[in-house]
């Protein structure tokens, strides 16, 4: 990888992040409602002025509040929550990010493994029964939102059979005798939302891998491998699959934004205490600092993921290193 290519990608990511920070400031101040009304409702005038001064809402929006916001953001200070009084935005988000990373991180790993395997198997046997079944299931899963997949899972495996809990991260008020009991309890609550997210993600990876495998089947190196007498399984594993992986690298980064968008609805369905439910709570309370923090965190995650995808892609395909 050339230093010029690396520098160009890093600069592009930095410019994108700078624009996101500015948009983050403007966007939430264009929303209906006013932070001072939330903070100083039913207060005497003197107390109201103290509260506005404490939150720097008595200063002009531009440039005073903008400059203060940019300076604090560069220092990593996201401010204090309006709803969760006495807690910083970083603490509030930090307490919720773990469950979201656990659920959607694990779902991404499973979906990538299953989706790529299913797509490769279907594409290599194009037109056969395996292809028709695999591609049909992939299209169905890809078109279904997470909460639609979650509903039948809850009805069948939680409400009817009582195999798994219906919602939550763990059993409320539970006392665990050993760490293993706690892991088991959290794992039982994780199963249904994990299946819902994984199922929703598998379709996209499978469809793209199938198309890539079909395209690589016509390449000369595959024909040469067949002429050498290599088995279909070895040709798929050693020749077709590695070359078909290139388009999926970008999809993994792009799907991060899609996963985050679906987190809100899914976490609400399962009452999963993650970033999604925190977003809903902050919206209801018009907690602008928390909303800004969430937006900034998710935006940075998407930009960084795309930057990593570009760098990985450059290693896999030297043609892009220009």
User: pLDDT by residue (tens digit) across 194-203?
Assistant: 999 999 888 8
Residue 203 lies in a domain: yes
CATH number at residue 162: 1.10.3720.10
Question: In this predicted model, which residue has the larger pLDDT, 260 or 69?
Answer: 69
pLDDT computed for residue 189 by the predictor: 92
SS3 80: strand
Q: Closest by alpha carbon to 214, among 224, 204, 206, 203?
A: 206
pLDDT computed for residue 116 by the predictor: 87
Sequential DSSP letters for 245-268: THHHHHHHHHHHHHHHHHHHHHHH
User: pLDDT by residue (tens digit) across 105-157?
Assistant: 898 889 888 988 888 888 887 877 877 888 888 888 888 888 888 889 999 99
User: pLDDT by residue (tens digit) across 24-57?
Assistant: 888 766 766 556 555 555 556 666 666 666 666 6
Percent of the chain's residues with pLDDT above 90: 7
What domain range includes position 22? 3-32+78-320
Residue 299 lies in a domain: yes
Residue 87 lies in a domain: yes
* Cβ atoms within 10 Å of 184's Cβ, excluding its own: 12
Residue 45 lies in a domain: no
Residue 226 lies in a domain: yes
Residue 66 lies in a domain: no
Q: Number of structural domains, the chain? A: 1
Q: What is the pTM of this model?
A: 0.79
Residues sharing a CB contact under 8 Å with residue 65, sequence separation 6 or more, in sequence order: 56, 57, 59
Residue 71 lies in a domain: no
Distances 32 to 40, 63, 89, 261 between C-alpha atoms, Å:
17, 21, 21, 22
Distances 302 to 13, 73, 255, 307, 313 between C-alpha atoms, Å:
10, 18, 9, 9, 16
Distances 178 to 139, 146, 168, 217, 285 between C-alpha atoms, Å:
43, 33, 20, 53, 38
Residue 140 lies in a domain: yes
Sign of torsion over alpha carbons 273, 275, 277, 281: positive
């Amino acid at each position: 990888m050339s230093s010029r290519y690396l520098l160009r990608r890093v600069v592009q990511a930095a410019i994108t992040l700078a624009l996101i920070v500015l948009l983050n400031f403007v966007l939430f101040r264009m929303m209906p409602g006013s932070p001072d009304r939330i903070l100083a409702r039913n207060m005497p005038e003197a107390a109201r002025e103290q509260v506005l001064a404490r939150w720097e809402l008595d200063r002009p929006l531009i440039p005073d509040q903008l400059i203060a916001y940019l300076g604090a953001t560069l220092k990593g200070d996201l401010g204090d929550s309006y709803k969760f009084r006495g807690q910083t935005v970083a603490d509030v988000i930090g307490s919720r990010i773990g469950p979201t990373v656990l659920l959607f991180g694990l779902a991404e790993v499973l979906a990538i493994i299953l989706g790529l395997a299913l797509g490769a198997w279907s594409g290599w046997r194009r037109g056969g029964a395996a292809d028709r079944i695999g591609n049909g299931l992939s299209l169905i899963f890809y078109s279904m939102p997470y909460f639609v997949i979650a509903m039948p899972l809850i009805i069948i495996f939680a409400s009817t059979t009582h195999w798994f809990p219906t919602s939550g991260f763990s059993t409320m008020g539970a006392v665990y005798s050993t760490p293993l009991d706690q892991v088991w309890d959290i794992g039982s609550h994780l199963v249904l939302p994990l299946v819902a997210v994984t199922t929703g993600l598998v379709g996209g990876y499978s469809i793209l891998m199938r198309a890539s495998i079909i395209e690589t089947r016509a390449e000369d190196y595959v024909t040469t491998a067949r002429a050498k007498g290599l088995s279909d399984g070895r040709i798929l594993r050693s020749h077709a699959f590695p070359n078909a992986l290139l388009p999926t690298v970008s999809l993994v980064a792009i799907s991060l934004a899609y996963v985050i968008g679906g987190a809100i609805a899914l976490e609400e369905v399962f009452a999963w205490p993650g970033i999604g439910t925190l977003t809903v709570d902050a919206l209801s309370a018009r907690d602008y600092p928390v909303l800004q923090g969430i937006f900034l965190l998710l935006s940075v995650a998407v930009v960084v993921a795309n930057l990593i995808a570009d760098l990985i892609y450059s290693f896999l395909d030297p043609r892009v290193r220009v």
